[in-house]
C-alpha cells in the first residue's frame, strides 16, 4: 500500500542573517502492506510529520520515490489524494459552517452522494461521541471535540489508507479508548491500512501490527512490538542483595549470565548498549545490581541456583518485561516519556517509574508505568526555524 525508497526532505531555514539546512528526512525506506496498522514513532523532530506530508503529497520530496495506493506521490498526486484520508497534527481549518455541513461538503468532494455521506457522518458523530454537535460550528467546540471532528473528516469517505498524525493528542482517556476501537474497526471491518504517529507508547503497542521507529530522519527499526521488545531491549533483571559486601559477587554472576544469554540494551540510560557484550551492562547501585538479559525467564532460575550455591543471599529479585519505551530508549537514546509520551491514562495514574523492591515477579504489562528503568535527563525539544522553505519542490 505504501512503498517509499530513499526519501529525503531538506528545508532551508533562516534565523536573522544565517541560513541553515535541516535534513528532516534522510533516506527513508518504508513498506506498508494492505490492511496493516503501522505505528510510526520517533522523538520530537525525528521526521515523522515530514514523511507523512510527503506521502500525502503535501510536500514534494527533495529526493527519493514513493508510491501510495499504487500511485506515485510526485506525478499522481490527485490519485493519491483520492485514495487516502489524512488527519494532520494541526487539525483541519474549518470554514465557519456548521460541523455537519463541513462533513457533508468534504464527503461530496470525494464524489459521495449527499445522502450517503450524511448517513455515514451522523453514524461517525455517534461513534466518536459527537452526538448533538452536527449543527454546531467547530469554533464553538472544545479541543477534544474538534480533534474528533478532524477524525470524522479524515475517514468519512472511507479511504483504503488512512494517515493519522497524533490522532489522540488532546483527547481524554475515554475518547482515546473510543478512538482506538474505531481504528481497529477500520482495519478489521473495512480492511483499511493505517499509518499513525503517536507519542503514546501504550497506544502504539495496543494498535500497531508493526512499529517503525525513525530517528534523525532515518528508519532505525521496523518490527512487531513484541519482537522489538524481545530483541532490542531484553528483560530487566534487578537483584537486591541482603549484604552490600556481596554485591560485587552478584554483579559478576549477573554479568556472566548476560554474556551467555545475551543482553538487551543496558540496564539503563547510563549503561552501555550492546547486543552481546557484557562490558558495562551491569549496573550497581546500593544493594542492587541490574542488567538487561534476553529471555530472562529462562536464564534466571540457573542464576538463582548459582547465587544460592555461592552463599549470596538475595533480599529480592525482580524481572521486568521490556516496554516499547525501553526499545525507544535503546534505539534513540531518548525516552519517549521525555517528549510527552506518557499517556493521559498513565499520567492520571501518576505512574512513570516504580521501585524495585518486590520479591520475584514477572510482569507482562506493556504500559509505560511498568518499567523500572531509570529515567534519563530530559533533552531539549527539536529546534524550530523562524522561517523556512523546502529546498526543492514547492508546497502544493
Ligand atoms: N517547514 C519546515 N522548515 C524548516 N524545518 C522544518 C520544517 N518542517 C519540519 N522541519 C524540521 O524538520 C525536522 C523534522 O520535523 P518533523 O515535524 O517531521 O518531526 P516529527 O518527528 O513529526 O516531530 P514531532 O514529534 O515533534 O511532531 C525538525 O527538525 C523540524 O524542525
173-195 tens-digit pLDDT? 888 888 899 899 889 988 999 99
Quote the pLDDT of residue 333: 84
Q: What is the mean pLDDT of residues 337-365?
A: 39
- Determine the Cα–Cα distance for residues 267 and 270; give it in Å rounded to an integer: 8
Q: Assess whether the C-beta atom of 332 lies below 6 angstroms from ligand 1.
A: no
Q: Given pLDDT bands bounded at 50, 70 and 90, which one contains residue 392?
A: very low
Q: What is the 3-state secondary structure (H, E, C) of the chain?
A: CEEEEEEEEEEEEEECCEEEEEEEEEEEEEEECCCCEEEEECCCCCCHHHHHHHHCCCCCCCEEEEEECCEECCCCHHHHHHHEEEECCCCCCCCCCCHHHHHHHHHHHCCCCHHHHHHHHHHHHHHCCCCCCCCCCHHHCCHHHHHHHHHHHHHCCCCCEEEEECCCCCCCHHHHHHHHHHHHHHHHCCCCEEEEECCCHHHHHHHCCEEEEEECCEEEEEECHHHHHHHHHCEEEEEEECCHHHHHHHHHHHHHHHHHHCECCCCCCCCCCCCCCCCCCCEEECCEEEEEECCHHHHHHHHHHHHHHCCCCEEEEEEECCCHHHHHHHHHCCCHHHHCCCCHHHHHHCCCCCCCCCCCCEECCCCHHHCCCCCCCCCCCCCCCCEEEECCCCCC
Q: Contact at 8 Å (CB) between 48 and 385? A: no
Quote the pLDDT of residue 2: 97
Quote the pLDDT of residue 334: 81
- Pairing label, strands 71-72, 193-197: unpaired
* Residue closest by Cα to atom 12 of ligand 1: 24
Atom number, ligand 1, closest to the C-alpha of residue 49: 22
Return contacts of 250-253, CB within 8 angstroms, 24+ apart.
250/289, 250/307, 250/312, 250/314, 251/282, 251/284, 251/289, 253/303, 253/306, 253/307, 253/310, 253/312
Quote the pLDDT of residue 263: 59
CA distance to 30, 49, 163, 210, 233, per residue, from 214 (Å): 10, 11, 16, 13, 17
Indicate if the pLDDT at residue 231 is higher than 50.
yes
Q: Assess whether the C-beta atom of 341 lies below 6 angstroms from ligand 1.
A: no
- Determine the Cα–Cα distance for residues 297 and 317; give it in Å rounded to an integer: 12
Longest alpha-carbon distance in the chain = 78
May I ask the CATH architecture of the domain 235-370? 2-Layer Sandwich (3.30)
Residue pLDDT, tens place only, 75-99: 999 999 999 999 998 777 777 789 9
Quote the pLDDT of residue 242: 97
Q: Contact at 8 Å (CB) between 369 and 350? A: no
CA nearest neighbour of 37 among 149, 215, 180:
180
Q: What is the mean pLDDT of residues 233-262?
A: 91
Q: What is the mean pLDDT of residues 303-323?
A: 94
Q: Can you tell me the ipTM of this complex?
A: 0.98
User: When comparing pLDDT for 294 and 262, which is higher?
Assistant: 294
**Which among 8, 39, 45 is the best mutation to test ligand 1's pocket, defined by most ligand atoms within 8 Å of the CB?**
45
Q: Assess whether the C-beta atom of 44 lies below 6 angstroms from ligand 1.
A: yes
User: When comparing pLDDT for 175 and 316, which is higher?
Assistant: 316
Q: Assess whether the C-beta atom of 391 lies below 6 angstroms from ligand 1.
A: no
User: When comparing pLDDT for 133 and 358, which is higher?
Assistant: 133
State phi, psi for 29 to the nearest 5 degrees.
-110, 135
Indicate if the pLDDT at residue 236 is higher than 50.
yes
Indicate if the pLDDT at residue 248 is higher than 90.
yes
CA distance to 235, 247, 326, 331, per residue, from 238 (Å): 10, 12, 15, 22
Quote the pLDDT of residue 338: 55
Dihedral sign, Cα of residue 138, residue 139, residue 142, residue 146 = positive
Alpha-carbon dihedral of residues 67, 196, 108, 70, nearest 10 degrees?
10
Q: Where are the domains of the chain?
A: 2-223, 235-370
Indicate if the pLDDT at residue 141 is higher than 60.
yes
Residue 389: all three cell numbers together:
522553505
Q: What is the mean pLDDT of residues 309-313?
A: 95
Q: Assess whether the C-beta atom of 46 lies below 6 angstroms from ligand 1.
A: yes
User: When comparing pLDDT for 362 and 259, which is higher?
Assistant: 259
Q: Contact at 8 Å (CB) between 168 and 179? A: yes
Q: Contact at 8 Å (CB) between 276 and 262? A: yes
In the reported structure, the alpha carbon of residue 11 is separated from the centroid of ligand 1 by a whole-number distance in angstroms of 9
Quote the pLDDT of residue 259: 87
In the reported structure, the alpha carbon of residue 74 is separated from the centroid of ligand 1 by a whole-number distance in angstroms of 20
Q: What is the mean pLDDT of residues 131-153?
A: 92
The whole-chain average pLDDT of the chain stands at: 81
Q: Given pLDDT bands bounded at 50, 70 and 90, which one contains residue 336?
A: low
Query: Residue 197, CB half-sphere, CA atoms under 13 Å: how many?
Result: 23
Quote the pLDDT of residue 190: 87
May I ask the CATH architecture of the domain 2-223? 3-Layer(aba) Sandwich (3.40)
Indicate if the pLDDT at residue 245 is higher than 90.
yes
When mean pLDDT is compared across 132-136, 298-302, 362-366, the lowest value belongs to 362-366
Indicate if the pLDDT at residue 260 is higher than 60.
yes
The CA-CA-CA angle for residues 154, 155, 160, to 5°, reads 115
Q: Assess whether the C-beta atom of 142 lies below 6 angstroms from ligand 1.
A: no
Residue pLDDT, tens place only, 18-37: 888 999 999 999 999 999 99
Q: What is the mean pLDDT of residues 360-387?
A: 30
When mean pLDDT is compared across 32-41, 108-117, 215-224, 348-357, the lowest value belongs to 348-357
User: When comparing pLDDT for 377 and 269, which is higher?
Assistant: 269
Q: Assess whether the C-beta atom of 55 lies below 6 angstroms from ligand 1.
A: no
- Determine the Cα–Cα distance for residues 149 and 103; give it in Å rounded to an integer: 8
Atom number, ligand 1, closest to the C-alpha of residue 47: 18
**Which among 8, 26, 50 is the best mutation to test ligand 1's pocket, defined by most ligand atoms within 8 Å of the CB?**
50
Q: 250-264, 290-304, 327-341: which has the highest mean pLDDT?
A: 290-304
Amino acid at each position: 500500500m505504501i512503498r517509499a525508497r530513499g526519501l529525503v526532505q531538506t528545508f532551508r531555514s533562516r534565523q536573522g542573517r544565517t541560513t541553515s539546512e535541516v535534513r528532516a528526512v534522510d533516506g527513508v525506506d518504508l513498506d506498508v502492506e494492505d490492511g496493516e496498522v503501522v505505528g510510526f514513532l520517533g522523538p520530537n523532530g525525528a521526521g515523522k510529520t515530514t514523511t507523512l506530508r510527503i506521502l500525502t503529497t503535501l510536500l514534494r520530496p527533495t529526493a527519493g520515490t514513493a508510491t501510495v495506493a499504487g500511485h506515485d506521490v510526485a506525478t499522481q498526486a490527485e490519485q493519491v489524494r483520492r485514495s487516502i484520508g489524512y488527519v494532520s497534527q494541526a487539525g483541519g481549518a474549518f470554514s465557519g459552517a456548521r460541523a455537519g455541513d463541513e462533513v457533508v461538503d468534504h464527503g461530496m468532494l470525494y464524489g459521495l452522494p449527499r445522502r450517503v455521506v450524511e448517513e455515514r457522518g451522523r453514524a461517525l458523530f455517534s461513534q466518536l461521541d459527537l452526538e448533538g454537535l452536527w449543527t454546531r460550528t467547530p469554533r464553538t467546540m472544545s479541543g477534544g471535540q474538534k480533534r474528533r471532528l478532524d477524525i470524522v473528516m479524515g475517514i468519512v469517505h472511507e479511504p483504503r489508507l488512512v494517515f493519522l498524525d497524533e490522532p489522540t493528542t488532546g483527547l481524554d482517556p475515554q475518547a482515546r479508548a473510543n478512538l482506538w476501537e474505531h481504528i481497529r474497526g477500520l482495519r478489521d471491518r473495512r480492511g483499511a491500512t493505517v499509518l499513525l504517529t503517536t507519542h503514546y507508547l501504550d497506544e502504539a503497542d495496543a494498535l500497531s501490527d508493526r512499529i517503525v521507529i525513525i530517528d534523525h530522519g532515518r528508519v532505525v527499526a521496523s518490527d512487531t512490538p513484541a519482537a522489538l521488545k524481545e530483541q532490542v531491549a531484553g528483560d530487566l533483571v534487578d537483584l537486591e542483595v541482603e549484604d552490600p559486601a556481596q554485591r560485587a559477587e552478584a554483579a559478576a554472576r549477573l554479568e556472566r549470565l548476560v554474556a551467555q544469554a545475551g543482553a538487551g540494551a543496558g540496564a539503563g540510560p547510563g549503561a552501555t548498549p550492546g547486543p552481546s557484550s557484557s562490558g558495562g551492562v551491569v549496573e550497581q547501585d546500593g544493594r542492587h545490581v541490574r542488567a538487561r538479559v534476553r529471555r530472562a525467564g529462562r536464564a534466571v532460575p540457573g542464576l538463582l541456583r548459582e547465587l544460592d550455591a555461592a552463599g549470596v543471599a538475595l533480599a529480592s529479585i525482580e524481572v521486568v518485561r521490556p516496554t516499547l519505551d525501553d526499545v525507544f530508549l535503546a534505539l534513540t537514546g531518548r525516552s519517549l516519556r521525555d517528549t510527552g509520551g506518557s499517556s493521559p491514562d498513565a499520567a492520571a495514574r501518576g505512574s512513570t517509574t516504580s521501585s524495585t523492591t518486590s520479591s520475584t515477579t514477572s510482569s507482562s504489562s506493556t504500559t509505560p508505568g511498568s518499567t523500572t528503568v531509570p529515567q534519563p535527563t530530559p533533552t531539549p525539544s527539536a529546534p524550530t526555524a523562524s522561517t523556512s522553505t523546502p529546498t526543492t519542490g514547492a508546497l502544493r
